[in-house]
Amino acid sequence: MLCIYHESTDPYFNVATDEYILKHIDEDCFMLWRNDNAIIVGQYQNTLAEINYDYVKENNIAVVRRLSGGGAVYHDLGNLNFSFTHTGKDSNLSDFEKFTRPIIEVIQSLGVNARFEGKNDLMIDGKKFSGNAEHIHKNKILHHGTILFASEMRNVSEALRINPVKYIDKAVKSIPKRVTNVSEHLTTKISLDVFTRLLMDHVLKNFPGSRLYQFTDDDKKKILQLRDQKYATREWNFGKSPEYNFKKAIRTNGGLLEMNLEVKNSKIEAAKIYGDFFSEKGISEIENALINTMHEEKAIRKKLSSFPIEKHFRNISLDELMTAMF
């Protein structure tokens, strides 16, 4: 098994790396990696419904859709991610406990009572520190998971704090759980770098035939191409969201503004605006203009910038309209 630790903290590159080791490296792999601030959403989720859009925008948090299903997770540099790829028979590929066992063993060796619980979570004293997901490609599986070691918990909660009333859809929903950092439970404090080395050494020692591997220049070139053409694109990260209805009401200087959108394949198919605001020109032109526009801020701003917004919505700005749409 090839054991890989790479220094990139680019979320788009790193999620692309998972696909690369699954589909383009024949040998089984174990990989450790970290992302700078990012939300990683499951393949079958409605991205906008999983994120606190305003917080994500204000803090320049990357949003990336992964190959596997499951719920959304927040990554920062205090979070360590691990990936396994394994070739086998379809009937025995998926085994969450097997792939998380090395993580449990290392943390237990540090005197912490870590356990595998439920379907795919690792817990300490009833609090989650690791979520896991899997994706099968032909006769090969990608298992990957998070390890909250020293993450900023406020950022975790704020980035994933959503209003469930805003979105009505059939997408897979994340299930919030109480979370914790591994470092909070250590009697002898160690750094994340030390923990990373302990985990890598444990895998190298306990998996016969394991050896360290560094991506070649050709590997990196192909991963970068996958990053740019897929994982860094809005079409992949947002456009794959299923059909949904969106509803949000805000208070403005001009009165209450309520936005109702029907969205399919990321395009607005119907728009209705309600409220107790005043309008000189009416709002039907605005509603019609939104139809066939991507439910994306840049596209909507461009479409509405040609309209005299003040005449359609007295004392309501274009920025406030944007706020009501996300």
Strand 167-169 relative to strand 244-252: parallel, antiparallel, unpaired? antiparallel
Note the pLDDT tens digit of each residue in 247-262. Answer: 989 999 999 999 999 9
Concatenate the DSSP letters of all residues of 225-265 into one string. Answer: HHIIIIIT-HHHHTTTPPPEEEEEEEEETTEEEEEEEEEET
- At 92 the pLDDT is 60
Which residues belong to CATH 3.30.930.10 in the chain? 2-237
Band (91; pLDDT cuts 50, 70, 90): very low
Q: φ and ψ at 136, to 5 degrees? A: -105, 130
Flag whether pLDDT at 61 surpasses 80. Answer: yes
Average pLDDT over residues 263-281: 92
Half-sphere exposure of 227 (CA within 13 A, CB side): 15
CATH topology of domain 244-324: Enolase-like; domain 1 (3.30.390)
> Looking up tokens 């595998």, which residue turns up?
116
What is the length of the chain?
A: 326
Task: Count the Cβ atoms, other than its own, within 10 Å of residue 184.
Answer: 16
pTM: 0.82
Of the ranges 43-57, 99-113, 292-306, which one carries the lowest mean pLDDT score?
Answer: 43-57
Closest CA to 27 of 54, 1, 64: 1
d(CA 84, CA 294): 36
Average pLDDT, the chain: 91
109's tokens: 């060796």
- At 164 the pLDDT is 65
Which residues belong to CATH 3.30.390.50 in the chain? 244-324
Concatenate the DSSP letters of all residues of 283-312 into one string. Answer: SHHHHHHHTT-BSSHHHHHHHHTTS-HHHH
Note the pLDDT tens digit of each residue in 95-129. Answer: 888 899 999 999 999 999 999 988 788 999 999 99
Note the pLDDT tens digit of each residue in 20-32. Answer: 999 999 999 999 9
Contact 38, 236 (CB under 8 A): no
Band (233; pLDDT cuts 50, 70, 90): very high
Contact 159, 74 (CB under 8 A): yes
Asked: is 2-237 a CATH 3.40.50.2000 domain? The reply is: no
